[in-house]
Every structure is written in structure tokens, then in C-alpha cells.
Amino acid sequence: MFRENGWYRSILYAPAHRDNLEQVFANTPADVVMLDLEDGVPLADKPAARVKATALAKQDWTPLVALRVNKADSGMIPEDLECFGPGIGAVILPKAERAADLQDIDRRLTEKEKALGIEVGRTKIIGLVESCLGALEAANLARATPRLLTLGIGASDFMADIGSPVSRATLDPEALSLPRRMLVLAARAAGLSGPFDGGQFPPGRPGWGEACDMVRRIGFQGKVCFDDAQAAEANAVFSAREGEALKL
């Protein structure tokens, strides 16, 4: 589940209501699979997605499986965490803006681990920064809990928050330059490894390797991917930074 060197280069995005997820988990080259219950799952499909996530969480997987729950003020986190099981290695909190929200996830995970006989503290947390407030709070988020694996940036939502024209196919690197560096500084100052960067959609667009290398050079450890080809290339690019162990 956890990589021996603690370095995670590729995070494959997988909405939890998607079919054939067992095949995806078993065959992907990605270091992490983001099992999504949030934006990628329509409201009407969330109950079925939770059923699938619960079944997957009972199994052991080679990639680290990170369950992305809904945002802190959605009222859905208790339902989302009912999916928790020994196959979940991390929980991703989207729209992270307050250290207290990460600490709440920590408390809930402690209860779940105790109930299931899992070592307390084994499950990690990733805080996904997707707003101006989240970026300004990055230093506090990075120190919120010992469970924190690192931070990540949700590029599309961040661009929308600053009022910039955005599609998942066109993300302005200049507009993202400052928040990306803020996350790197926050993570490194807290003794964590570099953050995760958002993905580039649709898969197959040229320039993916260059996009990975750009954020690698400013201190990121990996990138969200939308297919196995992106994951394999991200692994190759970010392997140049392996050796800096995460604080686990």
C-alpha cells in the first residue's frame, strides 16, 4: 500500500461510480488511485458510488487508494467515511480551508481504525487546496495533523475562485504559479514532501511530460492523471525527485 521510499509520482483519478474499477486498481501503473466521491460523481449516483467504494475498501491493492470525500461543509462526510476499510490508505479532503476540518477527519479516522482493529494513525490525509483562502491557510493546513501526507492543488477550482476563465483543457500556468509555490513552501516548512499538482485533461494532449517537469522543478512530487499513459509518463518524470522520503 505505501511505497517503500514514500514517494508518490502519479495519482490516477477514478470516480467511484465508474464500472470495472477492480481492473483499474489491479493494472494501473499509478502510485495512487484517487477514488472519488466528490465532484466526479453526480449527486444521484453517490449512494451507488459509496456501495462500490465500500467493496473496494475491503481489499488490498498495490497502489495507495486515497478516498476523496465531499467537502467539509457538505454534510456528507459521515456517509462517505462509512466506506472506510483496510484497503483505504488515505483520505483526501477537497476544498480544504481550515486546519480544524482536517483535524475532524483525523478524529473520525481514529474512530474507524479502532473499530476495525487497524493501527491508529496508519491512514493518511491529503488536504486539497482549491481556493484563495485555502492557499493563504496552507501553512496551517500543512501542520494540522500528524496524519497529513501532503497537500494538493485543485487547479480548475482554484482558477474559478480567482475569477479566471477556465476549462480543464486550458489552465494558465502564470495564474497558478504563486499558489503552487505557496503549497510547496507550506509543505516543506512542515517537514512534508512536495504537494500534488492538478491534472491536464483530456488525456493525450501534447505537452504532458513538460507540464510534469515544470512542477517537478519547483518542488512538486507528483501529478493527478486521467489515464494510465499519463501515469506512466508522470512516473518517469517525477522519478528524478525520488529519494526524498515523506514524513510517514
Among 196, 202, 185, smallest CA distance to 234 is for 196
User: What is the DSSP pairing of strand 90-93 with strand 124-129?
Assistant: parallel
Phi-psi region of 212 (alpha: psi -120 to 50; beta: other; left: phi over 0): alpha
pLDDT in tens, 5-35: 567 999 999 999 999 999 999 999 999 999 9
Beta bridge partners of 92: 68, 126
pLDDT of residue 247: 37
Tell me the three state secondary structure of residue 197.
Answer: strand
Those residues whose C-beta lies under 8 Å from the C-beta of residue 175, and which sit 6 or more positions away, are 159, 162, 164
Tell me the three state secondary structure of residue 8.
Answer: coil
State which amino acid sits at residue 1: M
Tell me the three state secondary structure of residue 171.
Answer: coil
33 in Cβ contact with 66 (< 8 Å)? yes
pLDDT in tens, 29-67: 999 999 999 999 999 999 999 999 999 999 999 999 999
- How many angstroms separate the CA atoms of 173 and 166, rounded? 12
| Four-CA torsion 39, 43, 45, 49, nearest 10 degrees | 50
Beta bridge partners of 235: none
- How many angstroms separate the CA atoms of 127 and 68, rounded? 10
pLDDT of residue 117: 97
137 in Cβ contact with 163 (< 8 Å)? no
The residue length of the chain stands at 248
- How many angstroms separate the CA atoms of 99 and 142, rounded? 8
Question: Is residue 115 exposed (0-12), middle (13-18) or buried (19+ Cβ within 10 Å)?
Answer: exposed
pLDDT of residue 111: 98
User: What is the DSSP pairing of strand 64-68 with strand 124-129?
Assistant: unpaired
6 in Cβ contact with 246 (< 8 Å)? yes
The tens place of each residue's pLDDT in the chain, 248 residues long, gives 566 556 799 999 999 999 999 999 999 999 999 999 999 999 999 999 999 999 999 999 999 999 999 999 999 999 999 999 999 999 999 999 999 999 999 999 999 999 999 999 999 999 999 999 999 999 999 999 999 999 999 988 888 888 876 665 556 778 889 999 999 999 999 999 899 999 887 888 889 999 999 999 999 999 999 999 999 999 999 997 655 443 33
